[in-house]
């Protein structure tokens, strides 16, 4: 029994005793950590018949839909294309080790570009119908600048320089959630630094990296100008990409250079992000909001936000009440029924207003 165990331990040196006693605790902690990080759960049978199942990281704590530009891009695209989808926050990576990924009619597709190609082919959606060959070429070039270049400098800001703030936003639950969060964030920091070095951009100094980031953001601001969306008055696929990335600078990087830039000199990018957030994410509130989506009497409520809904099937143009009756109000209208987006703030008026301050 226990006495025999203690007698056996007595003959061992002190470090063996320590190892024996702490080994079980360490093993338990390691198993729990593995469970949380790899999200080992009982496999659920997913019925993806004619339903888009979107696998992505869990919602963060600060009211932003995702700390991943690619997850935010993908979910925003589904809303822009008005495709109903179901979220799975199971932490399970695609067979290629990627996130996000989708399942549709039991087919798994990974990589946002391939997912969009797949959905266009299967469901006949196309946000780029109105674009000519030159505009499509520009869209692809901009997409690659954002995803292959700007992405890395924003990731550096998020997971290396501003890790302490990012750690507060990460959402983990369980008895060791704070420890797990610390480990997870520092693991991510190491991965980001290593991958940036492999990419080549991580071999520059921090100052040089921020110079490259500013050039990319100024390029986007110049391309947008005073237009409503990147390619003109109508939304296109590139807007999901640009929004997914710029939203990180807008709402997840407090006090950093990208945030100061987008909310200062490049204010047209901030207005662009707000436009898309209000049109396609009506339930995403932010502390700086002028409570467009909240009742006027709830001044206290304006300081807090309810967690984003995990829509079973989200459809932007058609929402249903509990009885299943269609509700005509869409995210495009305020409580008076007037459109919030058809008459955007004129850039010149905005600049005049800023100069008067």
pLDDT in tens, the chain (357 residues): 545 444 444 455 655 555 555 565 566 555 566 655 655 444 455 566 788 999 999 898 888 999 999 999 999 999 999 999 999 988 888 888 899 999 999 899 999 999 999 999 999 999 999 999 999 999 999 999 999 999 999 999 999 987 888 888 887 776 777 788 888 898 999 999 999 999 999 999 999 999 999 999 999 999 999 999 999 999 999 999 999 999 999 999 999 999 999 999 999 999 999 999 999 999 887 655 443 333 223 333 333 444 455 544 454 444 333 333 433 333 333 333 333 333 343 444 444 444 454
Domain range for residue 176? Answer: 133-283
Single out the residue of 281, 210, 300 nearest to residue 243, CA to CA: 281
Which pTM was predicted?
Answer: 0.72
State which of 73, 92, 123 marks the end of a domain.
123
**Are residues 151 and 98 located together in one domain of the fold?**
no
Position 22 in a domain: no
**Are residues 86 and 197 located together in one domain of the fold?**
no
Residue 104 backbone dihedrals phi, psi, to 5 degrees: -145, 120
**Are residues 154 and 249 located together in one domain of the fold?**
yes
Position 315 in a domain: no
State which of 283, 302, 321 marks the end of a domain.
283
CATH of residue 103's domain is: 3.40.30.10
CATH of residue 255's domain is: 1.20.1050.10
For residue 162, give every residue at least 6 positions away whose Cβ sits within 8 Å of its Cβ, in sequence order, or none.
253, 254, 255, 256
**Are residues 149 and 278 located together in one domain of the fold?**
yes
State which of 123, 149, 183 marks the end of a domain.
123
Residue 151 backbone dihedrals phi, psi, to 5 degrees: -50, -45
Single out the residue of 70, 216, 76 nearest to residue 142, CA to CA: 216
**Are residues 177 and 276 located together in one domain of the fold?**
yes
The domain total for the chain is 2
**Are residues 259 and 206 located together in one domain of the fold?**
yes
CB 169 within 8 A of CB 252: yes
Vertex 45, ends 102 and 43: CA angle to 5°?
Answer: 90
319 forms bridges with which residues in the sheet? 327
**Are residues 238 and 156 located together in one domain of the fold?**
yes
**Are residues 266 and 188 located together in one domain of the fold?**
yes
**Are residues 93 and 162 located together in one domain of the fold?**
no
Position 12 in a domain: no
Collapsed DSSP state (helix, strand, coil) of residue 135: helix
Position 35 in a domain: no
**Are residues 95 and 219 located together in one domain of the fold?**
no
Position 162 in a domain: yes
């Amino acid at each position: 029994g226990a006495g025999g165990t203690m007698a056996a331990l007595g003959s061992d040196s002190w470090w063996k005793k320590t190892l024996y006693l702490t080994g079980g605790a360490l093993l338990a902690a390691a198993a729990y950590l593995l469970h949380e990080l790899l999200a080992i759960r009982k496999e659920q049978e997913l019925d993806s018949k004619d339903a888009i199942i979107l696998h992505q990281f869990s919602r963060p704590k600060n009211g932003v839909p995702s700390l991943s530009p690619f997850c935010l891009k993908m979910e925003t695209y589904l809303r822009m294309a008005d495709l109903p989808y179901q979220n799975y926050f199971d932490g399970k990576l695609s067979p290629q080790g990627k996130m996000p990924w989708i399942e549709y009619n039991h087919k798994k597709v990974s990589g946002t570009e391939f997912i969009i190609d797949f959905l266009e082919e299967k469901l006949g959606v196309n946000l780029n119908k109105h674009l000519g060959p030159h505009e499509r070429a520009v869209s692809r070039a901009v997409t690659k600048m954002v995803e292959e270049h700007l992405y890395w400098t924003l990731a550096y800001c998020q997971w290396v320089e501003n890790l302490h703030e990012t750690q507060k936003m990460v959402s983990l639950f369980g008895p060791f959630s704070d420890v797990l969060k610390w480990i997870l964030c520092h693991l991510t920091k190491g991965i980001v630094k290593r991958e940036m070095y492999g990419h080549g951009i991580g071999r520059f100094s921090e100052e040089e990296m921020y110079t490259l980031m500013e050039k990319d953001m100024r390029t986007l601001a110049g391309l947008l100008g005073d237009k409503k969306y990147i390619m003109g008055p109508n939304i296109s696929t590139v807007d999901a990409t640009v929004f997914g990335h710029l939203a990180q600078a807008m709402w997840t990087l407090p006090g950093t250079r990208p945030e100061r830039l987008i909310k200062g000199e490049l204010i047209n990018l901030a207005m662009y992000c707000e436009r898309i957030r209000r049109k396609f994410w009506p339930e995403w509130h932010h502390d700086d909001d002028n409570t467009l989506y909240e009742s006027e009497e709830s001044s206290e409520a304006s300081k807090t936000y309810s967690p984003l809904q995990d829509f079973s099937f989200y459809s932007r143009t058609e929402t249903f009440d509990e009885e299943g009756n269609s509700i005509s109000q869409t995210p495009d209208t305020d409580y008076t029924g007037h459109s919030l987006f058809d008459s955007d703030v004129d850039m010149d008026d905005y600049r005049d207003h800023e100069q008067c301050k």
